[in-house]
Structures are given as structure tokens and as C-alpha cells.
Amino acid sequence: MARIAGGDSVNTAELATSTHTGTHVDAPWHYDDAGARLDEIPLEVYVGPCRVLSVTPQGGYVTPAALAGLPGTLPPRLLLHTGQPAHWAEFPEDFTALEPAFVREVARRGVRLIGTDCPSVDPLTSKTLDAHAACRETGVLILEGLNLSATPDGDYDLVCLPLPLAGVDGAPARATLLPAGTLG
């Protein structure tokens, strides 16, 4: 928009994007007209203990079988590494989605935020958004588009900071993992 080389006093860029670009959070209002908007969700939901878990899809979905061998109680944030690359040359049309039964099972085990390295928890062509609906039913929030390509499985502290936008359905976010226990 402005360039010092062009006679302006500063360099300034313009930003225009969707609220669901790159790594982003979905506020419940994204998939439920009666759901909370982003500014109604406490930031604490996005900060604290989490587990990174590599999963192998079955028929294109993460199923409850992915939880075999895990304890009955999980950290409040679960980040799923499905094998998506760190960067997409083109928007992926085929990626791993979540079975609603998986969402319900992790919620039963204490998860309140599901993160994935995919652009959505539902298939791109879904019109019913069954995984989003399961998140709505269980009160689980959604974080999508993570870069987990070089992250080993294990326990961490998540710091996810969505852009502080009011009255919206989601926002791009900066998400980083710290060693477990760093936040106290």
C-alpha cells in the first residue's frame, strides 16, 4: 500500500484473507448459528497441556481405534498428526477427516480441543459436517491446519493465539509447542 521507495514515509502491506486460512481456529458459530463467536471463547482454551498423536487413517478417517493403548484420561488438548505436509502447493482436496465416534470418545476422555494438520475435521465435500457436529455436541473446540511434520509424538504445552477478532466464526492463529510443564 505504501513504499518508502515511492516517496511514502513507511512501508505498509495490505492483508486480505479468510478467517480459515492456514493454521486457524473454528469458533462454534462457524458451524452452528447459535454457537459462540470467537471473542466469546476464553483464550485459556487454546493454552496449556496437550498431546501430539500420530494417527493412521482407516478409510480416510481417524477412528476410535487410534486411541488404542492410550490412557482413559487424556490432556485437554489433542493434536493429530495425520501426515499432511508442512506446506501445500495447492489446497488439498483429499485429507484425513475425523469420525464423529472419535470426537465423542476423546471428549469422554477429557479432550476439550482437537487440533489437526488437515484443513478441516470433515472431508472437503461434506455437506453435513458430521465431525463438526460431534464437536458441537461434546463442546470440543477445533484447531485446523497445524504443521506437525517435524513434531514427535508426546506431551507438550500448547500456546495457540488466534487473531483477536470480534464477532467472527474463526481466525488464523499462531500455534507453538513448548516442552511439557513449561507453563507451570
Catalytic residues: 30
Rounded to the nearest 5°, which phi and psi values hold at 46?
-95, 5
Element (H or E) spanning 154, and its range?
strand 154-162
Helix-helix angle 100-108:130-138, to 10 degrees:
20
Residue 105, SS3? helix
Joined grid coordinates for residue 155: 506431551
Q: Strand, helix or coil at 115? A: strand
Read off the C-alpha cell for 100. Answer: 464423529
- Residue 91 contacts by C-beta under 8 Å, 6 or more apart in sequence? 119
